[in-house]
Amino acid sequence: MNELVLSVPGISCGHCVNAITAEVGAVPGVTAVQVDLACQTVRVTGEADEAAVRRAVREAGYDAV
């Protein structure tokens, strides 16, 4: 994975951004995390496992579709 864009419905505030950024950023291989509230997407850059990134989003309390 070089770049992965996930749709994450329900994100709407700074708390969402912080929670997702912290959890996904801790996944080994992730080099950058961008959360776009307007589009409700999370863009992840790096060499991380996609399943691990999706688990991190769930651990933050959100569902990636």
Pairing of strands 3-7, 41-46: antiparallel
For the entire predicted model, the pTM comes to 0.93
Q: Considering the domain 3-59, what is its CATH architecture?
A: 2-Layer Sandwich (3.30)
Task: Say yes or no to pLDDT of 1 above 90.
Answer: no
Residue partners of 38: CB distance under 8 A and separation at least 6: none
CB atoms within 10 A of CB 65: 9
What are the tens digits of pLDDT across the range 2-60?
A: 999 999 999 999 999 999 999 999 999 999 999 999 999 999 999 999 999 999 999 99
